[in-house]
């Protein structure tokens, strides 16, 4: 139990947090982060932690980028708030939409701004309904998603997500969402099944699902190009082109959730480019502002927009909007993010350092506790197993990765994200990370990994190594 009247005590008294065990959180309190510099954050006792998860996969430019901070301050002085509803707009939102329209892989796109990835994905469900109702296809509303996909926390976005604990006791998912197998070869391939056969099986599953539900009832398929929170799952290279072919055949849209993958995370500007996807819509958030201000964008193609406009004409009014969507300060920061991508040649930097990241993370494959290593760009995961040869996982699932995460943080001042796919630690450091800092990050992780290996070997949790 946190003592005295510390920030942690007061927090435990007053705040209900997410993604934790509520009682544990109340008893132990949080670690309170009060400052940051570059890829490091500081707790209230002044301890510096290397942030290998970029906060919540979002602080692309680290924790004290002067240009981003200045952009927010400048806009606060100019116009701290105005809305973008009911025939009003603000310059930063207009400039941002114009700039994004030149770089997204959707021709003639329209942008709808919101505050979070969850909101934008929720609105995607609403817009899908509005569009199909508008063009006279009211039955075409179902969305296919994938088990272990993550799309946010609101009723709709949590329903799109395929993580059981996000549904249990919340009475989710809502209707018209269907979950199919995720392209996680390490976990889901049958014994002896190669990656091509695995892809064939998943493509067949999608096709069978569409046929059995009726293609006329399926509006879209949503996917993170590389799923993040589900465990950094990188599908076989022919998976998306084959999925896309089936979707196109049945007139089903591809909804790309770029909330983690967008803005260079996977090596190219968009996850869709890295993974060979032609999206009908995209959801952007997180690195859109480097996490400095809340902002998301739902990007829709012209066909969807035209259909919605036609429907609105009939109905007379588009009954949707939020107070803070297109917030001028958030949009000003996002504009600066796009500027910095150019002025600091970020894609070149990412290409250089990600080669080092991929090489360093791959070295963990040799470690006796590591069953699988996955990486693309500056997104990676290391998955632990109890028996490497027999691919035996730890029970209960996640218990060892959680201990490893805690040990890395407490003893080596390294923050990594433990994700709910097996015993997996994910890495998504700020994109500004240097090669030396990558060495430092994996050096700290390596020490923690060796320590946890010693501990659990003594406990008999793994096969003798």
Ligand X SMILES: Cc1ncc(COP(=O)(O)O)c(C=O)c1O
Residue 109 or residue 153: which is nearer to ligand X going by CB? 153
Which residues lie closer than 8 Å to 370 by C-beta, 6 or more apart? 364, 382, 383, 384, 385, 388, 449
Nearest to 76 by CA among 292, 377, 319, 257: 292
Nearest to 223 by CA among 272, 176, 166, 294: 272
* Residue in 36, 225, 228, 264 binding ligand X, rule: CB under 6 A: 228
* Residue in 38, 117, 307, 429 binding ligand X, rule: CB under 6 A: 117
Nearest 10 degrees: Cα torsion 455, 457, 460, 463: 150
Nearest to 262 by CA among 254, 273, 253, 271: 271
Residue 68 or residue 114: which is nearer to ligand X going by CB? 114
By the rule CB under 6 A, 257 interacts with ligand X: yes
| Chain residues 285-324 in contact with ligand X, contact rule CB under 6 A | 285
By the rule CB under 6 A, 151 interacts with ligand X: yes
Nearest-angstrom CA–CA distance, 339 and 99: 10
Q: Interior CA angle at 156 toward 150 and 158, to 5°?
A: 35
| Chain residues 5-64 in contact with ligand X, contact rule CB under 6 A | 56
- What the block records as the tokens of 420 is 């709910």
Residues in contact with ligand X, counted by CB under 6 A, come to a total of: 16
Nearest-angstrom CA–CA distance, 192 and 103: 42
Cβ 354 to ligand X shortest distance, Å: 19
* Residue in 84, 118, 330, 375 binding ligand X, rule: CB under 6 A: 118
Stretch that binds ligand X, among 41-49, 110-118, 166-174, 456-464 (CB under 6 A): 110-118
Q: Using alpha carbons, list the distances in angstroms from residue 107 to 51, 102, 111, 266.
A: 36, 9, 12, 22
Residue 174 or residue 355: which is nearer to ligand X going by CB? 174
Residue 2 or residue 156: which is nearer to ligand X going by CB? 156
Stretch that binds ligand X, among 31-39, 133-141, 256-264, 398-406 (CB under 6 A): 256-264
Cβ 296 to ligand X shortest distance, Å: 6
Cβ 115 to ligand X shortest distance, Å: 8
Cβ 17 to ligand X shortest distance, Å: 14
* Residue in 116, 148, 159, 453 binding ligand X, rule: CB under 6 A: 116
Nearest-angstrom CA–CA distance, 346 and 23: 42
Residue 394 or residue 427: which is nearer to ligand X going by CB? 427
Residue whose pair of structure tokens reads 């040869």 in the numeric block: 389
Which residue's Cβ lies closest to ligand X? Answer: 117
Contact letters (x/-) for ligand X, 325-364, by CB under 6 A?
----------------------------------------
* Residue in 234, 260, 282, 340 binding ligand X, rule: CB under 6 A: 260
Cβ 214 to ligand X shortest distance, Å: 28
Q: Interior CA angle at 362 toward 358 and 368, to 5°?
A: 160
Question: For 102-194, where are the alpha helices, taking DSSP H only?
Answer: 117-134, 155-160, 185-188
| Chain residues 153-192 in contact with ligand X, contact rule CB under 6 A | 153
Residue 260 or residue 378: which is nearer to ligand X going by CB? 260
| 396 preceded by a cis bond (ω within 30 of 0) | yes
Stretch that binds ligand X, among 60-68, 130-138, 145-153, 209-217 (CB under 6 A): 145-153
Residue 207 or residue 224: which is nearer to ligand X going by CB? 224
Residue whose pair of structure tokens reads 């107070």 in the numeric block: 323
* Residue in 50, 163, 253, 259 binding ligand X, rule: CB under 6 A: 259
By the rule CB under 6 A, 113 interacts with ligand X: no
Residue 59 or residue 121: which is nearer to ligand X going by CB? 121
Cβ 263 to ligand X shortest distance, Å: 13
Nearest-angstrom CA–CA distance, 202 and 100: 33
Cβ 250 to ligand X shortest distance, Å: 24
By the rule CB under 6 A, 444 interacts with ligand X: no
Give the orientation angle of helix 302-315 with respect to helix 117-134, to 10 degrees.
70
By the rule CB under 6 A, 152 interacts with ligand X: yes
Residue 158 or residue 462: which is nearer to ligand X going by CB? 158
Residue 229 or residue 414: which is nearer to ligand X going by CB? 229
Residue 369 or residue 378: which is nearer to ligand X going by CB? 378
Q: How are strands ordered across the β-sheet holding 142-146?
A: 110-114, 296-300, 281-284, 253-257, 218-223, 142-146, 177-180
> What SS3 class is residue 277?
coil
By the rule CB under 6 A, 148 interacts with ligand X: no
- What the block records as the tokens of 185 is 């070869």
Nearest-angstrom CA–CA distance, 129 and 114: 18
Q: CB count, 10 Å around CB of 178?
A: 17
301 and 307 in contact (C-beta within 8 Å)? no
Binding site for ligand X (CB under 6 A): 56, 116-118, 121, 150-153, 224, 228-229, 257, 259-260, 285
């Amino acid at each position: 139990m946190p003592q005295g009247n510390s920030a942690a005590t007061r927090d435990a008294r007053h705040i209900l947090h997410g993604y934790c065990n509520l009682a544990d959180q109340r008893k132990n309190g949080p670690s309170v982060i009060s400052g940051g510099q570059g890829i490091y954050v500081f707790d209230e006792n002044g301890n510096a932690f290397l942030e290998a998860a970029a906060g919540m996969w979002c602080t692309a430019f680290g924790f004290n980028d002067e240009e981003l901070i200045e952009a927010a301050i400048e806009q606060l002085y100019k116009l701290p708030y105005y809305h973008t509803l009911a025939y009003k707009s603000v310059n930063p939102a207009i400039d941002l939409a114009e700039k994004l329209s030149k770089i997204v892989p959707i021709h003639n796109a329209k942008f709808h701004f919101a505050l979070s990835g969850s909101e934008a994905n929720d609105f995607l469900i609403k817009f899908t309904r509005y569009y199909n109702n508008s063009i006279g296809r009211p039955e075409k509303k179902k969305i296919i998603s994938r088990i272990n996909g993550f799309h946010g926390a609101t009723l709709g976005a949590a329903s799109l997500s395929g993580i059981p604990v996000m549904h249990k006791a919340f009475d989710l998912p809502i209707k018209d969402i269907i979950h199919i197998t995720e392209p996680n070869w390490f976990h889901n391939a049958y014994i002896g099944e190669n990656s091509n056969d695995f892809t064939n099986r998943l493509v067949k599953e999608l096709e069978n699902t569409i046929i059995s539900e009726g293609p006329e009832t399926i509006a879209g398929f949503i996917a993170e190009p590389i799923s993040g929170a589900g465990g950094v799952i990188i599908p076989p290279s022919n998976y998306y082109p084959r999925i896309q072919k089936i979707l196109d055949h049945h007139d089903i849209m591809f909804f790309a959730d770029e909330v983690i993958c967008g803005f260079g995370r996977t090596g190219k500007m968009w996850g869709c480019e890295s993974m060979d996807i032609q999206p009908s819509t995209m959801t952007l958030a997180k690195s859109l502002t480097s996490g400095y201000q809340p902002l998301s964008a739902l990007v829709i193609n012209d066909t969807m927009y035209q259909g919605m406009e036609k429907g609105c004409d009939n109905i007379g009014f588009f009954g949707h909007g939020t107070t803070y969507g297109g917030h001028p300060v958030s949009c000003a920061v996002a504009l600066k993010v796009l500027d910095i991508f150019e002025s600091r040649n970020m894609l070149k930097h990412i290409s250089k350092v990600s080669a080092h990241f991929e090489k360093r993370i791959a070295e963990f494959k040799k470690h006796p506790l590591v069953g699988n290593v996955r990486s693309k760009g500056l997104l990676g995961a290391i998955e632990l197993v109890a028996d490497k040869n027999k691919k035996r996982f730890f029970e209960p699932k996640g218990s060892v990765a959680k201990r490893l995460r805690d040990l890395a943080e407490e003893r080596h001042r390294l923050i990594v994200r433990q994700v709910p796919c097996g015993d997996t630690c994910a890495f998504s450091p700020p994109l500004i990370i240097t090669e030396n800092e990558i060495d430092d990050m994996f050096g700290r992780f390596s020490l923690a990994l060796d320590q946890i290996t010693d501990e659990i070997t003594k406990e008999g949790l793994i096969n003798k190594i």
